[in-house]
Structure 1
Amino acid sequence: MYLPWSSIGSFRCLACGTCCSHFMVPLRASEALSIAKIFGWDRLEVRKGRLFIRKHGRACPFLVRRGSLRVCHLQEFGIKPRACKVWPFHIFRTPEYGKREEASLSTRYGTFYVYVDPRCPGISLGRPTDTLLDAVVEALEIWLGVRTEQYLTTSPLGFLGRNGHEWTIPSLVRLAESEPHVFRIHGMMK
């Protein structure tokens, strides 16, 4: 049973791989094409007319270890699927899982209903923090397609480890100045 976002106190991606180990990843056509172009069509499958990443055993084949962490190899190529970017948040235009008021989120984009998958070990119950609200809005913007980059809804290895972006000290300083909360939530800045 999903929980309304307002019952969650905080969220931080732990790079534990839970999200990549238990679920089928639905893909949009453009995402499937991007993955197939780099890794081949055999990494995809169709079920009931929908595209998915083909799993190997229980885990996504793009889940890789980086030391003690588990991260998305697709993110390193800048092609992490939207469904993965927004998890553990589930966003709807109507209240799909009840608790209308608690799930409601009014933004400049309109009112949406946001639920959280309680199986994510990176969430804690409580009164929502400003950082949680920022992460929920980031997930919403990704879901709407007005944002592609993710900072608060991924692990620090996720957003710093992309092959598609060459990080330099000046570019990290600019990011820290423009989005200091990104570094604070990941414990990289006070």
Structure 2
Amino acid sequence: MAPIPIGRIRSWTCLTCGMCCRVFRVALTPYEYAKLSTIFGPWCVDVDEFGNPCLRKVGDRCVFQTEEGLCGLQPLGLKPLACKVWPFRVLKRPKYGHSQEALFVYGGKRYYVYVNSMCNGVNRGDPRKLPLVVSEVIRILERPSTPQRYSTSNIALRPLLTSSRSLSVSILSSLRSSTML
């Protein structure tokens, strides 16, 4: 399915459905690959069929997705860039056609923004927040350490999430405070 130009959708919100963590392999930058494998060990990372670094999947989902469908890396400030900006694709030039509908001007610069139509949050949520979401995604792409406010779920991760398939936040928190970070 071709991505949808931003002008063709009325709103977007993260529904915390976790579909993106199950359907896709999470691409990692070389820095993210090195950092996550250093902190958690090589078991959490993988390479795709093209040799690109990515997060490992366990069963049908990302190894860091909790039972509740939340990202176990987000509260640690380790959420990968690909996850922070999904389902948006921000380009300097139009790639999928419909250039006028994809055009988004931010900070005096022209961007062409497309949305993955597989996301269940498309055309959901408050339409007034869509420009805030897209602006935040652009800022995150320019500076990956930018905190997320509009482009992620507003559901807080509960203090402890332990099960055989999810990580304990207390364990992750202790890893974060270790000297490995």
Shorter-chain TM band? 0.7 to 0.9
Aligned to 2:87: 88
1:143 aligns with 2:141: yes
Structure 1 unaligned spans of 5+: 165-190
CA 1:157 to 1:23, structure 2 compared with 1: closer, same or farther past 3 Å? Answer: same
Q: Give the Å deviation of 1:112.
A: 1.1
Aligned to 2:115: 116
Query: What TM-score do the two structures reach when normalised by structure 2?
Result: 0.79
In the TM superposition, structure 1's runs of 4+ consecutive aligned residues that sit over 3 Å from their partners are: 158-164
- Tell me the C-alpha RMSD between the 2 structures: 2.3
Aligned to 2:63: 61
Give 1 or 2: higher helix fraction: 1
Aligned equivalents of 2:142, 2:157: Cα separation in 1: 20
Q: Give the Å deviation of 1:130.
A: 2.9
SS in 2 for 1:150: coil
CA 1:158 to 1:120, structure 2 compared with 1: closer, same or farther past 3 Å? Answer: farther
CA 1:159 to 1:132, structure 2 compared with 1: closer, same or farther past 3 Å? Answer: farther
Aligned to 1:40: 41
Q: Give the Å deviation of 1:34.
A: 2.2
Structure 2 unaligned spans of 5+: 160-168, 174-181
SS in 2 for 1:63: coil
Give 1 or 2: higher strand fraction: 1
Aligned equivalents of 1:116, 1:141: Cα separation in 2: 17
Q: Give the Å deviation of 1:81.
A: 0.4
SS in 1 for 2:36: helix
Q: Give the Å deviation of 1:57.
A: 2.3
Aligned equivalents of 2:10, 2:42: Cα separation in 1: 40
